[in-house]
Structure 1
């Protein structure tokens, strides 16, 4: 019985993927998901569960900010994995569109939790950095490493160009819509309240449009053009139908669904608790590391929150199922940009927080160029390991650029402080010299008068 239960859980390893993509996977071998079960359900991930109570206790007891941040950062890794694992059991019992909506929201629980908590505290830059960091990790690091592992010993990999082109076009439209407020803020010379009000109005309008576009995208994916998501070229896809049918897992029982739902709710609440202490300790940790809090939101939080998904996609890519990887990466980026981002903007509207799409100029440039680089490399329907290495190199370049900006800022602050000290010292010396001159003149006048 335990074997059946374990095998059913194994088959749900890919349930953060789109329903149509799961249908496609049944035309392939289930070996990648057995590999994911070996990797992700092993002691490496489960051992991190010990950090969940430790991280919550550290935050409640008021430990040092660095310890609280690190412990809760490690705690969200297994929690995010178990949410993705259990979400499949729950979403499988709903319709295609509700399942897609569930996976788009709860599949990005870390971004949603960090965004909501930071938004309630008015930490707008952290919200924006976390969202952009998630997009960067998927578009550059995850896709690049997956392509590298999938094609390191082959000349090229070929994937479906039609659907990839459609989804890439949608990403271009969304990325342009997201950076228009930042461009408007950058080119505006006014700092008046009217400009801020206009920025809020534009951001709210853009969020509503993106949310409507997400609803249309769900209908396009699951209703009107579902056939596009069910046609993937692959090697030997038609020869294993009998084997695949034998390997498909049994449907979950009602008791297991209730258990999955309960554990799912507990995991979500735990992520919100860890995210709360994570945000509370981010300032002290950033000060200790000599970086900005936005940098931690741009790099570390997205990496930890999606680490299990990254490992799973790399496991799939090693079986050369690059179509599934590319569509999953693009689908996740669209979920973040079409649903999570506008949802947080509208939530800020409700909470009376100035949550806008006015990203920092560096973050906006990084976001747009990352999307453009990814689309340019996959637009021809084929790829190789060198393109994967370029994507990973672009990630390192962006991180180094951000680090260089932080170091430059610190050096400038320290240089300014040193120069300011010299200026103050020079003013004191000059004042003393002037005082001595005045005393000398007064003495001479007194002597002349006598």
Structure 2
């Protein structure tokens, strides 16, 4: 065991160096494709790959904060910074008039965190460590917040889709919901960062928390560089999104729900799976649940309020019916899976399979 851990520590710097080089090379190729006469599909796929690598670097950098911050602070910080790629992509997409893509990406982020993130984390960790335990109290708070916040997002959409009088005031309803959600975020932040939320994570098997080994200056520098790369590449992505989607025969809902959302969440998905493989399913679940919550608490309201300021016009929080159903089913399944504070590979597989089923439904629009 010690020999394998020593070999892992020696290979770590080499893997990181290769990742950084690949990220810079992908950014360079994406830039060349952006300013050269290449097909929209190649530009789209190249930029998507560049954002993917930059997001992995961002997630790897955030993972190095272990041991430097309190557990509750790490979870919240990781969720905030982890949603940065999607916020940047969302702003540029709104400026390009891709409202349907942004709406789908918000719902897709929730599905991504709840089903794909938890599914892969529980599947990988369960296969390695068997049944794993998560903190019941912390998970209970997350479950209650998840159901309440999803209800807050979903209820206005149901009211409008049913043709109630609120349907004539979609912009006003969206602004009310956005302000209410931001208020919940601000009020709940001290509670989530307080001493009660700072219980040590539950470790399973032989997995132990590993403190970050990078100097803090490197962590901050790479986080900044990755964020800037994502910002530039997001502008390129939205510029080629419409012609590429049309050329590939895809629909806006599928692109937002499963492509943009997955790329934007990689900085959270990768650390969650890594932590679960170490036996720390507790922190892995906290990252994915907090990530889903902050899409509703922070990302969706901010995009709603910023849309008029960036010249994108009104952006409403009224989602299509099938997307509403998908969120309800995902939230309920995650609540049932985590209600006994134990998770395993079969439950992870169930979450992952539901994600694939939903992807197949939206593939045809």
Report the TM-score when normalising by structure 1: 0.71
| Alignment partner of 1:161 out of 136, 149, 155 | 136
2:188 counterpart of 1:229:
no
Tell me by how many angstroms 1:347 deviates. 0.6
Aligned to 1:303: 262
Does the CA-based 8 Å contact 2:59-2:271 persist in structure 1? no
Q: Secondary structure at the match of 2:127?
A: coil
CA distance, structure 1, for counterparts of residue 82 and residue 110 of structure 2: 14
CA distance, structure 2, for counterparts of residue 294 and residue 235 of structure 1: 38
Aligned to 1:356: 316
| Alignment partner of 2:175 out of 187, 200, 204 | 204
1:190-235: CA deviations, max 9, x gaps?
Answer: 8xxx845x11111111111111111122100112xx2333144445
Tell me by how many angstroms 1:359 deviates. 1.0
Question: 5+ residue gaps in structure 2?
Answer: none
Does the CA-based 8 Å contact 2:56-2:270 persist in structure 1? no
Aligned to 1:343: 302
Does the CA-based 8 Å contact 2:159-2:167 persist in structure 1? no
Aligned to 2:156: 181
Aligned to 2:27: 52
Aligned to 1:292: 251
Aligned to 1:214: 185
Tell me by how many angstroms 1:133 deviates. 1.4
CA distance, structure 2, for counterparts of residue 36 and residue 304 of structure 1: 26
Of residues 109-118 and 98-107 in structure 1, the stretch that sits farther from structure 2 once superposed is 98-107
Of residues 154-163 and 166-175 in structure 1, the stretch that sits farther from structure 2 once superposed is 154-163
CA RMSD across the alignment: 3.3
Q: How many residues align?
A: 358
Of residues 123-132 and 314-323 in structure 1, the stretch that sits farther from structure 2 once superposed is 314-323
Question: CA 1:262 to 1:391, structure 2 compared with 1: closer, same or farther past 3 Å?
Answer: closer
Of residues 334-343 and 226-235 in structure 1, the stretch that sits farther from structure 2 once superposed is 226-235
Aligned to 1:138: 113
CA distance, structure 2, for counterparts of residue 69 and residue 274 of structure 1: 10
Task: Mark the structure with the bigger radius of gyration.
Answer: 1
CA distance, structure 1, for counterparts of residue 129 and residue 276 of structure 2: 13
1:307-345: CA deviations, max 9, x gaps?
Answer: 354233222222322111111111111122211111111
Does the CA-based 8 Å contact 1:130-1:297 persist in structure 2? yes
Question: CA 1:210 to 1:99, structure 2 compared with 1: closer, same or farther past 3 Å?
Answer: same
| Alignment partner of 1:275 out of 234, 259, 269 | 234
Question: CA 1:386 to 1:342, structure 2 compared with 1: closer, same or farther past 3 Å?
Answer: same
Question: 5+ residue gaps in structure 1?
Answer: 1-29, 407-450
Report the TM-score when normalising by structure 2: 0.86
Q: Secondary structure at the match of 2:198?
A: helix
Tell me by how many angstroms 1:402 deviates. 1.0
Question: CA 1:348 to 1:251, structure 2 compared with 1: closer, same or farther past 3 Å?
Answer: same
CA distance, structure 2, for counterparts of residue 56 and residue 385 of structure 1: 41
CA distance, structure 1, for counterparts of residue 42 and residue 84 of structure 2: 23
Q: Whose relative contact order is higher, 1 or 2, with alpha carbons under 8 Å and at least 6 apart? A: 2
1:392-418: CA deviations, max 9, x gaps?
Answer: 110110011112x33xxxxxxxxxxxx
